[in-house]
Amino acid sequence: MPSLYLLPLSILAVVICRRALAFVKDLGTIQYHVGKRQLVSVQSVLTAFLPPLRWITEGANSRIRLKHSQYERFGWDVISEVAVIGQRTIVFSLADADVVREVTASSRGRFVKPVEIYERTEIYGPHIISAEGEQWKKYKKLVSPAFTERNNRLVFKETVNILSELFEDVWRDKDIIELDHCTSLTYKIALLVLGAAVFGNKPSWETEPGPKGGHRMTFNQALHGMTSDFYLSVILPASAMGLTERFRKARVSFEELGAHLTETLEEKKNSPDSEGKSDLFSIILANNEDSDDKLPDAAVKGNIFIFLIAGHETTAHTLAFTFALLSMYPEEQEALYTHITSVLEGRLVPSYEDLPRLTRCTAVLYETMRLFPPITSVPKSVAEDTTLDITNRKGEKKTIPVPKGSTVLIDAAGMHYNPRYWKDPLSFNPERFLRDYRRDAFIPFSSGPRACPGRRFFETEAVAVMAMFISKYKVSIKEEPQFSSETFEQRYERIFASKEVLTLTPTRVPLVFTKRV
């Protein structure tokens, strides 16, 4: 063999030997706790682009695809995933409610947020999702007062007004509305509610005029573009954002949304009547201005931005899944319709005071998020050598070592389909949320102190949307000739096909809304 090849081959052999020895050492470190052994770490960005390959990688969308099956396979609700390649080669996946509670609430010093993963989301400034420790406490103090009863009332009122305009002015003469993909509707609803409840804008279904004041995009265009391509900013270096037409358009969206956020911030800071307003931006800004430990404008913009991203995607996708489930299970839809009409007692629209009584709406929403959690898994870094005490369904107990530098992955999908907590977990059964249930086994908003502060905002909007739509329209799956012979199971698989991007995203949900008579 020519000597030219000896050096690179020798280097390759050394690298392979070192990784193999490290792999064996990792297995010993965790005392060979049961789980997966594969080439590429589940934490590697490569998994988002690869199909599942045995011994190689879990592949994309693994959490929602596997649900609880991997835990059943190994007999424990905490399993290890040890890889040869990856920045973090030891990962523990958790579908045990007791262990998740320990990780998120009682042992936060041992299990911390891997802030390096979230740093690239700080496009306009640092925010509560990317912060840890004292910085996180400052941001929590900044944003928590914004999610008040005052803002919730505004959310409910604006949602009702937005949908009333849709029904009366846009769908006015139509008895049947067909949608090729339901998100075309739910994205718009989420966008209008955010504009009103976060910025205090007057929402409207009218065609938006072109950009003004030197902008290349309107605020709505920029926000939609940003949320659609947000993941590009996370996985691509800035130098790559000009390589394709899509990347260039995404870059313009990022730049324009930042410009709109800056303008709005300045307008609200200089507005004499901003005091006492109920929109999220005004409340956060006022809270910051009154603080003894005032945060810079970048932190205000960063926190507003992250709520825009979460509020837009989470709401739009969850509502699409909700309408799809109600279409697939018409008996549940009629039970919901009966419940809503009994609460409204002949009134055409719900009021904010009806919210606590719309219990079945909340149950349907929760069951949707159990089946399709917006965030399927949440990583935590292990800050010190520690252990976890685990128990399986047989009652067997075990203590497993968890080394410093490894990752624990809170698996919402795995826990939401865990038969230890949910009877017949694959079925759509909103009734389970109308009786006692294991609350710490339901984590669509994460859990512990770092649970999503915007939960009530989202729930208020979603329940209002459900009450408005189901009281006036029947929703069904759009019939298409090419799918005329499919079974219920085949239809379910097609309608609920989804991918894990920023949040769990439905691929295509074709629906029909038919006016009730």
Biggest CA pair distance of the chain: 89
Task: At 116, list the tokens.
Answer: 């390096």
pLDDT for the residue numbered 232: 78
CA neighbours closer than 13 Å in the CB half-sphere of residue 138: 17
What stretch of H or E contains 192?
helix 183-199
pLDDT for the residue numbered 393: 84
pLDDT for the residue numbered 480: 96
**Annotated binding-site residue numbers for heme:** 452
Determine the Cα–Cα distance for residues 19 and 25; give it in Å rounded to an integer.
10
Determine the Cα–Cα distance for residues 319 and 466; give it in Å rounded to an integer.
8
Residue extent(s) of CATH 1.10.630.10 domains in the chain: 137-375+444-515
Q: Angle at which helices 455-472 and 330-344 pack, to 10 degrees?
A: 100
DSSP assignment, residue 510? -
E strands of 73-195, at which residues?
78-85, 90-94, 111-112, 176-179
pLDDT for the residue numbered 446: 85
Task: At 71, list the tokens.
Answer: 């835990």
Determine the Cα–Cα distance for residues 293 and 288; give it in Å rounded to an integer.
8
pLDDT for the residue numbered 133: 83
Q: Which residues contact 85 (CB under 8 A, 6 or more apart)?
A: 19, 39, 40, 41, 44
pLDDT in tens, the chain (517 residues): 566 667 777 777 777 888 889 899 999 999 999 999 999 888 887 787 788 888 888 888 899 999 999 999 999 999 999 999 887 889 999 999 999 999 998 666 899 888 887 887 888 899 988 888 888 888 888 888 888 888 899 999 999 999 999 999 999 989 999 999 999 999 999 999 998 888 888 888 987 778 888 899 988 888 888 877 877 777 777 788 888 888 888 889 989 999 999 998 988 888 766 566 788 888 888 888 888 788 888 999 999 988 888 888 899 999 999 999 999 999 999 999 999 999 999 999 999 999 999 999 999 999 999 999 999 999 999 999 999 999 998 889 999 999 999 999 999 999 999 999 999 999 999 999 999 999 999 999 888 888 888 889 999 999 999 999 999 999 999 999 999 999 999 999 999 999 988 789 999 999 999 999 8
Measured in degrees and rounded to the nearest 5, phi and psi for residue 122 equal -85, 55
**Annotated binding-site residue numbers:** 452
Determine the Cα–Cα distance for residues 223 and 205; give it in Å rounded to an integer.
16
Parallel, antiparallel or unpaired: strands 407-411 and 90-94: parallel
Q: Is 408 helix (H, G, I), strand (E, B) or coil?
A: strand
Q: Which residues of 371-386 are buried (b: 16+ CB within 10 A; e: fewer)?
A: bbbbbbbbbbbbeeeb
Number of C-beta neighbours around residue 31 at 10 A: 11
Length of the chain in terms of residues written = 517
Find out if CATH 1.10.630.10 is the number for domain 137-375+444-515: yes
